[in-house]
């Protein structure tokens, strides 16, 4: 009996996806709920699980094809039918082998060899999860040369990392001779190009960023903030915080709480334009930009204004981990009212972040540098300073409101007591 595998429901308003990779090939055994294909939507990569155990059928679509929700991707032939079919196919070969045994049969027992599958030759498709594929590409490894320790011999992240360490320790192999079919010429040396199709996620990022520039009247205002008080608070309480809550105390918790206070004082920053109306929100669903293998994603911290520091830090840490593993859900990245993007983790000194429509503003954080600052008493001291950038839709937010918002953020970070007494 064959069971159809269809494109699952991918989320509200998502009607199609692109096949990123087939994780199982026709004829391979699959277990129930084992991922057999990876789909790329506008926001995330989604793995399609097998509905039951059995044998993989033919691929109806190829990698890179666009498929609609509900389309049939392949079939799974249930185990009972598969076993009967395999037995029927193997019987003639067995009978022939018994009738005409090989001359070397007396010297070697063929049974053990038949029971152990041969290793996949180089170039044969290997089933890789999105996280494992990212590590393979990062380290420049050939997945067919790595022995998998996962289920059904699949590669795990630990297998790839171990192979990478082995490759680093091994001496460099002798250079292979150039292919005879097309020898390299001096004019071509060092000028190779590679053409790679954009992933669906990258296409969506490009389209939405351009739409934001074309639609919103974007403007960016800047300020700087002295991080001394936050750094001292973290140093003083980080061990107790981690011991009690099981998570590290980071900077994003302070900025998320500061943003919630500032959004209350300047509600237009937390609003959005719909047609000829302005929609104000009495809650703060803060989108936090995190890096994923296929590009930047922005999962949403729901009702951030009601969360504690520990709740915010745990949510952000969970988002970061699952973004790298490619397991974020579609509904976790929809409906934000305001965005915080931390380019400082990559060393950015200053930037003009782009709004994430239909939101009306985005706060950009940057790296912390020791800079000379004139203190209130006139002395000059080296202080850990960070530039803040607020990009906003000038159709909705006036310059006075944008500057006021950044000042509120600055005041809360430079005096974190304000976060406790709601000032």
Catalytic center residues: 394, 398
Reduce the DSSP state of residue 396 to 3 states and report it. Answer: coil
Nearest to 403 by CA among 259, 201, 266: 266
Q: Report how far residue 238's alpha carbon sits from residue 317's, in angstroms, rounded to the nearest whole number.
A: 15
Kindly give the residue spans of alpha helices, DSSP state H, lying in 326-416.
399-414
For the chain, count helices (H), then strands (E).
10, 18
| H or E stretch covering 273 | strand 272-274
- Enumerate residues 6+ apart whose C-beta is below 8 A from 43: 201, 204, 297, 330, 333, 334
Per the DSSP assignment, residues forming a β-bridge with 22 are 37
Q: Are strands 286-288 and 338-342 parallel, antiparallel or unpaired?
A: parallel
Before 358, cis peptide (omega within 30)?
A: yes
Nearest to 227 by CA among 347, 383, 397: 383
Contact indicator for 30, 10 with CB cutoff of 8 Å = no
**Sign of the CA dihedral with 180 first, then 186, 187, and 188 last:** positive
| H or E stretch covering 384 | strand 380-393
Look-up of token digits 């159809």: 4
**Environment class of 182 (CB within 10 Å of its CB; exposed 0-12, middle 13-18, buried 19+):** exposed
């Amino acid at each position: 009996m064959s069971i159809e595998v269809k494109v699952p429901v991918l989320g509200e308003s998502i009607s199609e996806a692109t096949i990123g990779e087939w994780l199982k090939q026709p004829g391979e055994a699959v277990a129930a709920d084992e991922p057999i294909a990876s789909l790329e939507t506008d926001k995330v990569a989604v793995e399609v699980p097998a509905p039951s155990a059995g044998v993989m059928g033919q691929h109806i679509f190829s990698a890179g094809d666009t498929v609609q929700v509900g389309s049939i991707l392949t079939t799974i032939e249930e185990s009972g039918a598969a076993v009967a079919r395999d037995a029927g196919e193997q019987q003639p070969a067995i009978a022939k082998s018994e009738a005409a045994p090989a001359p070397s049969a007396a010297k070697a027992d063929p049974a053990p060899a038949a029971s152990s599958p041969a290793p996949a030759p180089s170039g044969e498709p290997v089933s890789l999860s999105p996280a494992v594929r990212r590590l393979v590409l990062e380290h420049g490894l050939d997945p067919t040369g790595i022995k998998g320790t996962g289920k059904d011999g699949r590669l795990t992240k630990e297998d790839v990392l171990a192979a990478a360490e082995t490759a680093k320790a091994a001496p460099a192999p002798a250079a292979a001779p150039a292919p005879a079919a097309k020898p390299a010429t001096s004019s071509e040396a060092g000028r190779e190009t590679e053409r790679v199709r954009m992933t669906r996620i990258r296409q969506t990022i490009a389209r939405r960023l351009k739409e934001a520039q074309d639609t919103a009247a974007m403007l960016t205002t800047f300020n700087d903030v002295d991080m001394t008080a936050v750094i001292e608070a973290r140093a003083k309480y980080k061990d107790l915080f981690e011991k009690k809550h099981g998570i590290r105390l980071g900077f994003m918790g302070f900025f998320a709480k500061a943003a919630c206070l500032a959004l209350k004082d300047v509600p237009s920053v937390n609003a959005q334009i719909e047609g000829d109306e302005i929609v104000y929100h009495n809650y703060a669903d803060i989108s936090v930009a995190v890096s994923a293998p296929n590009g930047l994603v922005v999962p949403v911290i729901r009702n951030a204004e009601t969360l504690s520091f520990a709740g915010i830090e745990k949510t952000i840490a969970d988002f970061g981990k699952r973004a790298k593993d490619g397991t974020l859900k579609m509904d976790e990245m929809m409906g934000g009212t305001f965005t915080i993007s931390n380019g400082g983790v990559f060393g950015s000194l200053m930037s003009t972040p782009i709004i994430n429509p239909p939101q009306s503003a985005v706060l950009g954080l940057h790296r912390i540098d020791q800079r000379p600052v004139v203190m209130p008493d006139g002395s000059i001291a080296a202080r850990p300073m960070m530039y803040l950038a607020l990009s906003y839709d000038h159709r909705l937010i006036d310059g006075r409101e944008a500057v006021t918002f950044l000042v509120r953020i600055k005041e809360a970070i430079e005096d974190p007591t304000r976060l406790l007494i709601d000032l």
